[in-house]
Structure 1
Amino acid sequence: MQRIPSLLRRLLPTLLLAAAAAAPGLARAAYPEQPIKMVVAYAAGGGTDIIARVMAPYIGKYLGPGASIVVINRPGAGGGIGFAEVANAPPDGYTIGFINTPNVLTIPIERKAPFTWQSFDLLGNVIDDPGNFSVHADSPVKNLAELVAYAKANPGAVSYGTTGIGSDDHLAAMMFERAAGVKLTHVPFKGAAEVHNAIASKQIYMASMNIGEALQYQKGGTPLRHLGQMSASRTNLAPGVPTFSEQGYRIVMASLRGIAAPKGLPPAVREQLVNAVQKAAADPEFQAKAAGYFAPLRYLPPAKYEAELREAEMGFRQMWKEMPWGENK
């Protein structure tokens, strides 16, 4: 009888080591064991914030029973603050966030940044929202030709709001200035909700914002007139709004809004998150709710999402050489 305790004593160190080695695997198998933080790099009430809050419960649903996702806003620096928070978080699956183009691509081009798009594990793209110019319905301007005429007659009087320097809204306006030979006055904000408030109160003359966001604010009661959408052809969201190309300006610009995590997720956790995002994006109930907010869905799996980011980055690097943007541009 004395041999059993002696044997256990000899085996105890081995058993403890085996248990310690198994513990990380057991933790991964139980993922998620705590709430997941979803970072939105823009202010509450904007297009990214709204789709994040609509989608978060569905991602949680497909992660499994008890999974919860908490949306937090980290606005500022054109999205740079929020993107950096996601990129620099522990790669354990408990911090994810939306990354927006072009900002996630243009910020590291224009200045030193603590991230590039390669700093993330891509989980899937969700939104593809074309750019657009909107004025208050009281404005006499009804199309791009009239906007150009007004801007030429009143140099610098056309102020326009965007979600920040280097955003798709800002770059599109710069391209328009160059193509039309006009000078506009840029007023950057921390998010689309602030741009909306400024155009609603006539603090700015024009809002450069995505068409889905503009339609949502219009539905909410803000009297807006949309001058043109920056898609290759008219979208189903706004079939009555002509494209820039139709009006003589070959400007195509949109914002991809996808979900990412810090680089280096455990493979099993990454697979769970990718699958949950894909299933959430395909959920009919989620799609119906997104349509109610004029959110133009376009799911891309990680590999295709990566290919689009890589190609877009090359284009923006070329644009930086030809037409650099920045505080004084």
Structure 2
Amino acid sequence: MKRLFAIASAFGLTIAGAAAAEYPERPIEMIVAYSAGGGTDTAARTLAPFIEKYLGEGATITVVNRPGAGGEVGFTELSRARPDGYTIGFINTPNILSIPIARQTRYSMDSIQAVSNVVDDAGAFNVLPNSPFTTLDELVAYAKENPGSVTYGTSGVGGDDHLAVLQFERLTGISMTHVPFSGAADVRAAVMGGHIAMAGLNISEAASLVNEGELIALGQMGEKRWTGAPDVPTFQEQGYDLVMGSSRGIGAPAGIPKEALNALQEAIAKTVEDPEFLAAAEKQDLPLDFQNAADFQAKLDELDSNLQTLWKEDPWVK
């Protein structure tokens, strides 16, 4: 009897282990906190089929748009979902961090678990070739001699481009004048038309104009140079300790089961090495930067600390 019990117990453990390894057993919902057709939505819909592929046969992911309040609506829904692995979402920096700093929100980062980062679109300062400054050092010197005279455009107050300039001003002791626009396209048009002196854009948003010689990128704010702009030095290479951009990755409600977290990480890691996905990402100018849950969470924590400090010293919402 003992032998039969031992065999039955071992068999039971095997069945239990197999059941746990069957994730996902039903469709997964991926929340996108921005409108359909935007950059985040396009990236999410490009990514989803590959995650399905590497999660295994029968896996399905439905992308659901929950736009509003700069991302707060979608982030709140993600944070309040059941932490069972069947609700995940695209999370964007700095918005997911800066919104709770600037105002009362219905979510906090304690309720969201980082899963994997996918995209890291570094910030960049861009000027016309005939600008009086074409390097960061020249920008600093010019701005010190002409306080407030350098106008710069971004796609909105509190966005990554605006926060990047605020941090740069704090690092260098200069003062420039912010001109907010409704989106990157408007910022590009303004700098190309000479209506502003400098454009704060993500490196991918200006890469084609820089490569064609229509704009000069003073630097990119990644920890390393993006392969799509290999000739543009980083800020750190030029002596300015500034890393800022828009990271886009996958998050889940805090408390997601370990087996689901591991399965998602593995599927995303395989996705960013898939030649078909890499071709699609290149076509969309997506600067890929895979990070596992631990590394992505550490990056979010560091950025949150930096933004908290920046808010205390120079709030971006007055």
1:279 and 2:279 matched: no
Quote how far apart the aligned CAs of 1:259 are: 0.3
Alignment of 1:55-134 (within 5 A): 55-134=47-126
Name the structure 2 match of 1:36.
29
Partner deviation per Cα, 1:190-212 (whole Å, 9 max, x = no partner)? xxxx2224423658634322213
1:177 and 2:169 matched: yes
Quote how far apart the aligned CAs of 1:172 are: 0.9
Quote how far apart the aligned CAs of 1:300 are: 1.6
Quote how far apart the aligned CAs of 1:218 are: 6.5
Partner deviation per Cα, 1:272-296 (whole Å, 9 max, x = no partner)? 3333222222323322332333322
Alignment of 1:145-294 (within 5 A): 147=139, 149=142, 155=148, 158-162=151-155, 164-178=156-170, 179=172, 181-187=174-180, 189=182, 194-200=183-189, 205=196, 206-215=198-207, 223-245=214-236, 249-294=240-285
1:313 and 2:318 matched: no
Structure 2 CA distance, aligned partners of 1:40 and 1:74?
Answer: 5
3-state SS in 2 of match to 1:209: strand
Structure 2 CA distance, aligned partners of 1:217 and 1:85?
Answer: 38
1:297 and 2:288 matched: yes
Structure 2 CA distance, aligned partners of 1:297 and 1:215?
Answer: 15
Letter in 2 for 1:325: P
Letter in 2 for 1:68: T
Structure 2 CA distance, aligned partners of 1:207 and 1:68?
Answer: 40
Q: Indicate if the aligned counterparts of 1:136 and 1:223 stay in contact, CA closer than 8 A.
A: yes
Of residues 38, 41, 45 in structure 2, which corresponds to 1:49? 41
Quote how far apart the aligned CAs of 1:187 are: 1.0
Quote how far apart the aligned CAs of 1:248 are: 5.7
Quote how far apart the aligned CAs of 1:237 are: 2.8
Of residues 305, 311, 314 in structure 2, which corresponds to 1:324? 314
Quote how far apart the aligned CAs of 1:231 are: 3.1
Q: Which moved more, 1:301-310 or 1:225-234?
A: 225-234
Matched residues, number: 296
Q: Indicate if the aligned counterparts of 2:33 and 2:72 stay in contact, CA closer than 8 A.
A: no
Quote how far apart the aligned CAs of 1:35 are: 5.5
Cα pair distance change 1:140/1:108, threshold 3 Å: same
Task: List runs of 5+ in structure 1 lacking aligned partners.
Answer: 1-24
Q: Which moved more, 1:300-309 or 1:239-248?
A: 239-248
RMSD between aligned residues: 3.6
Structure 1 CA distance, aligned partners of 2:129 and 2:73?
Answer: 34
3-state SS in 2 of match to 1:131: strand
Q: Indicate if the aligned counterparts of 2:147 and 2:175 stay in contact, CA closer than 8 A.
A: no
3-state SS in 2 of match to 1:130: strand
Quote how far apart the aligned CAs of 1:151 are: 9.4
Q: Which moved more, 1:270-279 or 1:111-120?
A: 270-279
3-state SS in 2 of match to 1:282: coil
Runs of 4+ more than 6 Å apart: 25-28, 137-140
Letter in 2 for 1:316: L
Cα pair distance change 1:282/1:248, threshold 3 Å: closer
Task: List runs of 5+ in structure 2 lacking aligned partners.
Answer: 1-17
3-state SS in 1 of match to 2:217: strand
Q: Indicate if the aligned counterparts of 1:87 and 1:119 stay in contact, CA closer than 8 A.
A: yes
Q: Percent identity?
A: 42
